[in-house]
Every structure is written in structure tokens, then in C-alpha cells.
């Protein structure tokens, strides 16, 4: 969620009228600020566990509330609540860690920018309505709050337009991702390095299909991001939820490369093999071809 966090903050303002609005809004975006700090000086993969998981939100909110309380000003509990509400709000629009790195859960509405815009607009309208009740019911005050709501909806619209232009990837809410099968299956009888891949998609986890999947060759699985083309390699089991470290997309094209002797793979390699040594003649190249190339 983006502008919706600001709406949550202004909705909480009534709870603590003496708490300034800026620290409240900063707390509502707290995990995002932490994520920004962790991305300095270079962006790192997998920081969400330290910023957006439930323990991280509890610790971050507690620290922020503690710091605020240390200044002997009222509203520490509201700071904590604003930080805490970041997690359920993000659950609607993205996919966030719960306790550990996997699984990521959430409705992932960022992938449907129009729905995200509608949802966040509703949250902003509700937030502004609650915020308005903190002030006397006067026309000119209401006008300022309407402008505030319109401005928040406008920046949300800008973000959603950018999302619709940048990310044309598939919508993958958490329940769909949880059903995704791993590409490699560990085999207890082949030790720690014993993984086998199956090349054909499986509709379900039937026991006989599990047995068939173990018959495949061992190897490396390459996931190529459909959005930006970044490649990720896995020699072990592919995690249930993988996101691209470059663009954040979760949709990949999968390629399996066998690394153990396998008849089909050996045949294919022999058929395609060509000598790369200097001076070796190419088997399909005639003397005339070489002459033509030299002439060019």
C-alpha cells in the first residue's frame, strides 16, 4: 500500500490530538523507511524479512514508540499502532513475509493497478472522513481535507500508472504462489546433493507422480524473469516464492539443465558438439566456403 498508509496515519490522528502529524505519518511508513535505509548504499536482496515481517514490524514499532516516549511527549502507543498497521495494509497490495523469508503472503494487488487504485482511494476517503472529525465542522476546514484527500489520491494514481507501465507481469496472490511446485526434489538416497528435476508440469502432488518425478535427471534450474530478463540459478530446491532482485517480479520462465550423465542429454550434446580448437576444420565447411569468407 502507498498513499493508504498516509490515510491510516491521519485516521489515527483523532486518537492522539497532541501528537504532531509528521512523526505519525513517518511511523505509518516506518517499514518502508527501514527498507530504504537497508538499500543504502546498494540495494540488497531479501531485506523484507528485517523490515516487513511480523517480528520486524513489532520490533520496529516498539523501538519507534520507545524513542518517541523518550522525548516525554504523548502518543507513543499511536506511533506503535501506526507502524503495526503497515503490515495488514501491505498484505492487500503486495506479498509480505510472515515470520521467515518464506512464504510470502498477500493479495498482490499492485499487479492489478486499477484495483489497487480503487482500494487505496477508498482507504484515503475513509481516512480523511475520520481525520475531519478531529476538526470543527466548518466549510473551509472541510475544503482543506478534501484537497488533502484529492492530493493523496493523485499521487496514488501516479504510482498506479507507473506500475501499469512498468509491470505487466502476472498477478500472483499468495494462495496461487503457495500452490507452485518446486522444480527439484531432494532424494534421501542420494545424499545432500541428490536433487532431481522434472521437466513437465504436474497438476497435483499425487504419490505416484512424486515417484515419477524422482526419475528425472539431476541438474541446475534457471529462472529467467519475464519482466526484465534477470536470471537466477538454483542447484537445490527452488523456493516456493521467488522474486526478481532487479525488478521485484515474481513470474519466471523456467529452464532445467541436467548435470549428471543422462542418455538424452549426452545424445543432444554429441549431435550439437563442434570443435573450438584453433586450426580445426569445421566438418560442414567446404574449401570454397573458406575461400568465399577470405574474399570478403
Binding site for other proteins (CB under 8 A): 2-3, 5-6, 9-10, 13, 21-22, 25-26, 29, 32-33, 36, 39, 135-136, 138, 140-141, 144-145, 147-148, 151-152, 155, 159
Cβ contacts of 173 within 8 Å, gap of 6 or more:
95, 106, 107, 108
Query: 70: which 3 cell numbers?
Result: 523518550
Q: State the minimum distance, in angstroms, from the CB of residue 165 to other proteins.
A: 14
Residue 102: DSSP 8-state:
S
C-alpha cell at 211: 515417484
**Residue (29 or 234) nearer to other proteins, CB:** 29
Strands 219-225 and 231-234: antiparallel
Q: In angstroms, give the least distance from the CB of 155 to other proteins.
A: 5
The answer to whether 61 touches 84, Cβ cutoff 8 Å, is: yes
- Given a contact cutoff of 8 angstroms between Cβ atoms, the answer to whether 110 and 116 are in contact is yes
What is the closest distance, in whole angstroms, from the C-beta atom of residue 260 to other proteins in the complex? 44
- In the chain, how long is the greatest CA-to-CA distance? 94
Nearer to other proteins (CB atom), residue 11 or residue 223: 11
Give 246's contacts (C-beta < 8 A, 6+ positions apart): 225, 228, 230
Measure the CA–CA gap between 44 and 250, rounded to whole angstroms: 17
CB of 231 to other proteins, least distance (A): 25
Q: How far is the CB of 154 from other proteins (least distance, A)?
A: 9
Within the chain, residue ranges assigned H as helices are 3-12, 21-28, 30-38, 48-51, 54-70, 76-84, 86-93, 113-132, 139-166, 174-178, 207-213, 263-272, 287-295
Phi/psi region, residue 72 (left: phi>0; alpha: psi -120 to 50; beta: rest), is left
Which lies closer to other proteins via its Cβ, residue 147 or residue 187? 147
Q: Give whichever of 33 and 171 is closer to other proteins, judged by the CB atom.
A: 33
Q: How far is the CB of 13 from other proteins (least distance, A)?
A: 8
Whole-number minimum distance, CB 246 to other proteins, in Å?
Answer: 15
Identity of the residue, 25 or 177, whose beta carbon is nearer to other proteins in the bound complex: 25
Which lies closer to other proteins via its Cβ, residue 23 or residue 258? 23
Nearer residue to other proteins within complex by CB, 31 or 219: 31
Amino acid at each position: 500500500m502507498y498513499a493508504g498508509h498516509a490515510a491510516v496515519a491521519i485516521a489515527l490522528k483523532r486518537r492522539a490530538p497532541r501528537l504532531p502529524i509528521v512523526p505519525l505519518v513517518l511511523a505509518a511508513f516506518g517499514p518502508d523507511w527501514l527498507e530504504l535505509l537497508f538499500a543504502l548504499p546498494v540495494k540488497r536482496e531479501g531485506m523484507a524479512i528485517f523490515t516487513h515481517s511480523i517480528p520486524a514490524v513489532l520490533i520496529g514499532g516498539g523501538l519507534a514508540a520507545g524513542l518517541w516516549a523518550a522525548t516525554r511527549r504523548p502518543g507513543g502507543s499511536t506511533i506503535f499502532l501506526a507502524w503495526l498497521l503497515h503490515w495488514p495494509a501491505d498484505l492487500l497490495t503486495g506479498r509480505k513475509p510472515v515470520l521467515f523469508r518464506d512464504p510470502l503472503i498477500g493479495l498482490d494487488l499492485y499487479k492489478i493497478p486499477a484495483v489497487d487504485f480503487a482500494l487505496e482511494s477508498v482507504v484515503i476517503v475513509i481516512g480523511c472522513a475520520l481525520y475531519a472529525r478531529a476538526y470543527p465542522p466548518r466549510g473551509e476546514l472541510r475544503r482543506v481535507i478534501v484537497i488533502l484527500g484529492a492530493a493523496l489520491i493523485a499521487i496514488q494514481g501516479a504510482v498506479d500508472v507507473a506500475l501499469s507501465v512498468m509491470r505487466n507481469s502476472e498477478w500472483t496472490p499468495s494462495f496461487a504462489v503457495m500452490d507452485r511446485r518446486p522444480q527439484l526434489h531432494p532424494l534421501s538416497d542420494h545424499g545432500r546433493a541428490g536433487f532431481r528435476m522434472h521437466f513437465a508440469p504436474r497438476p497435483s502432488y499425487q504419490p505416484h507422480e512424486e515417484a515419477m518425478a524422482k526419475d528425472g535427471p539431476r541438474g541446475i534450474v534457471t529462472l529467467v524473469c519475464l519482466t526484465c530478463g534477470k536470471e537466477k540459478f538454483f542447484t537445490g530446491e527452488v523456493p516456493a516464492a521467488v522474486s526478481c532482485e532487479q525488478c521485484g517480479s515474481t513470474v519466471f520462465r523456467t529452464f532445467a539443465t541436467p548435470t549428471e550423465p543422462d542418455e538424452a542429454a549426452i545424445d543432444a550434446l554429441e549431435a550439437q558438439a563442434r570443435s573450438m580448437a584453433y586450426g580445426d576444420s569445421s566438418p560442414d565447411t567446404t574449401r570454397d566456403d573458406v575461400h568465399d569468407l577470405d574474399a570478403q
